Amino acid sequence: MEELAILKDIFFVILYGGVTMLDVVAALYLLLRRGNAFAPEVTSPVRLRRWASAFFMATAVSHVFWLLYAFHPSTKAYLTVCALDVLLLIPTMAGTMLAMLQDRRRKVWPIIVALLPAVILSAICIIRGNEALFTPVSIYIISLYTAFIVYLLFAVRRYRRWLRDNYSDLEHKEIWQSFVILAVFLLYFIGYSSSSENPVPLYLLQLGNILIVGLLLWRVETLQQLGETTLAEEGQKNSAPAIPSTIGPLLKKHCEEGQLYLQNDLTLAHLAQTIGTNRYYLSQHFAQQGITYNAYINGLRVRHFIRLYHEAVANHRIFTAQQLAHESGFHSYSTFSATFKQNMGTTVTAWMRSVSE
């Protein structure tokens, strides 16, 4: 068979080669660079960097496979490249998405096991040189991807709860933006599955690849490394005795009166260590109160802001809301603004206006 006509388009060949090199550079950058270029103040998760690097490298290898197929097209070559893509791209994509959730280490091997039927059917297609079975393979893979999205939705819900139970400042920690990446992944794979020799979808696929590289690099470098729940702590939940009644008074003494809440990004673990208890007891104490750790700390900070505001007004001190929010322990003004509205039922500006009237 002759080489595919798309190879005669010099602009596409240049774009295709450039995207392949971009994937390789992105993979090596994440694997070899220690610090962040996009957000130097953030320490990104090592596990996430490795999985994202593996995904970029898998994408580059996929580009090489398809280039070889373009020069020597055949039914068996096409089916082989598709099967290799399934084995390389889906596990590394899933590993990347799961590595963004840091409440516990989620395994990727169940996804690899779930891919085995697709691999077996693909092998049968390759041996027979028949594309008839490839349609059910595609349907199975799309179903698997859908199931993974559903699982991720539940996992993210649990992750958000974990964040609010352990961290007072959620800046560089929330992962709702990751679903944008997941949606781009889905659109990319749909385009990949329906692509043909038509140059338009092939160009769009390369542009989609560039978008994925940019989004994923940004997400990796702006997501803060967090501590994972240890197995000992998980086991402790089933064997721990009653929660000590001294936790409430200890919190009042050290956190409220001692104003520990003014520390930026004060964690549950740090607070527990300071008052002489452990993370499990402290988190269960907040659960009994019907609040999260995040709500407790930020509620104290909002009340501190209100005190500072009244003092500043009484002393005729020149100030800004941003300055008082920072002095109250908030690292991000956007976080303060959202927390203030949640606690007070109105915006900061509206509240200050009503108080001054």
The pLDDT tens digits of the residues spanning 253-277 come to 999 999 999 998 889 999 999 998 8
Asked if 308 and 321 touch (Cβ cutoff 8 Å), the reply is no
For residues 297 and 314, give the distance between their C-alpha atoms in angstroms, rounded to a whole number.
Answer: 26
**Residues 281 and 314 reside in one and the same domain:** no
pLDDT of residue 192: 64
The rounded average pLDDT for each run of 10 residues, N- to C-terminus, in the chain (357 residues) is 68 93 96 83 90 96 90 85 88 92 91 91 84 81 87 89 89 76 72 66 85 90 74 45 81 92 90 90 90 94 95 90 94 90 92 83
| Beta bridge partner(s), residue 158 | none
Task: Report yes or no on 227 lying in a domain.
Answer: no
Amino acid at 94: A
Structure tokens belonging to residue 301: 């900070």
**Residues 118 and 17 reside in one and the same domain:** yes
Listed as own residue / partner, the contacts of 253-256 with beta carbons closer than 8 Å and 24 or more positions apart are: 255/297, 255/300, 256/300
Q: Which residues of 71-99 are buried (b: 16+ CB within 10 A; e: fewer)?
A: eeeeeebbbbbbbbbbebbbbbbbbbbbb
Q: Which range marks the domain in which residue 312 is found?
A: 294-357
For residues 23 and 19, give the distance between their C-alpha atoms in angstroms, rounded to a whole number.
Answer: 6
**Residues 250 and 159 reside in one and the same domain:** no
The pLDDT tens digits of the residues spanning 37-69 come to 878 888 899 999 999 999 999 999 999 998 888
Count structural domains, the chain. 3
**Residues 49 and 137 reside in one and the same domain:** yes
pTM: 0.84
- CATH number of the domain within which 348 lies: 1.10.10.60
pLDDT of residue 193: 61
- CATH number of the domain within which 194 lies: 1.20.1070
Looking only at Cα atoms, what is the longest distance across the chain?
Answer: 86
Neighbours of 311 (CB within 10 A): 12
